[in-house]
């Protein structure tokens, strides 16, 4: 699943921690439940926040089992009930995803697989690391073999990460704007940069 808004992606700039424009890729096992739900939820919140024109959101599965299929019907029902879009075509992680600035893993198994697959493992994070209180653990549990309550739980866990993800996106976009116009972004770059410190 790939959702893209706005103009052609800008040339990459050497700006930490993830060079270039913001491309977020959500990853789970088969790309029909957890990762497409997360991508669709974030895409909708980006639209509501007026940030959709500058961000690419995609999702993929580690395994090819469901490639070409729509989102799991149960995930789709939960998303629709909460006002989110449900259009999605499952895909296995491939070349079109591997230039992502940040890979968001649904569980530790996906995180481990991604760290082997991507060129820069520092671009891999657990999705739930963006939640303000992840004391119950960082995994988003797989609802596939369970009942309806599991799909509701997945959506709840995803929605808890949205404020942190939006803050991350805004920070990246502000940094990119500052780097482009030479203004101070707090990084020690540009004519208005503050002196000092490591």
Q: Which residues are catalytic?
A: 28, 34, 142
* Residue spans of alpha helices (H) in 49-192: 73-81, 108-117, 148-181
Cβ neighbour number for residue 146 with a 10 Å cutoff: 13
Give the residue carrying structure tokens 């990460």: 161
Both structure tokens of 151: 């799909």
Q: Which of 165, 176, 147 shows the shortest CA–CA distance to 10? A: 176
Both structure tokens of 24: 């977020």
């Amino acid at each position: 699943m790939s959702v893209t808004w706005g103009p052609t992606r800008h040339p990459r700039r050497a700006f930490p921690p993830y060079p270039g424009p913001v491309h977020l890729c959500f990853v789970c096992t088969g790309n029909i439940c957890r990762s497409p739900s997360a991508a669709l939820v974030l895409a909708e919140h980006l639209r509501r926040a007026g940030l959709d024109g500058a961000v690419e959101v995609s999702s993929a599965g580690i395994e090819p089992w469901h490639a070409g299929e729509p989102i799991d019907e149960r995930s789709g029902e939960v998303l629709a009930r909460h006002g989110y879009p449900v259009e999605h075509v499952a895909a296995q992680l491939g070349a079109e995803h591997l230039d992502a600035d940040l890979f968001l893993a649904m569980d530790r198994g996906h995180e481990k697989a991604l760290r082997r697959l991507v060129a820069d493992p520092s671009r891999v994070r657990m999705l739930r690391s963006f939640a303000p209180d992840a004391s119950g653990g960082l995994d988003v549990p797989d609802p596939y073999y369970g009942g309806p309550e599991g799909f509701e739980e997945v959506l709840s866990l995803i929605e808890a990460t949205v404020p942190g993800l939006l803050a991350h996106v805004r920070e990246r976009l502000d940094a990119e704007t500052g780097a482009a116009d030479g203004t101070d972004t707090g990084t020690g770059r540009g004519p208005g940069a503050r002196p000092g410190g490591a």
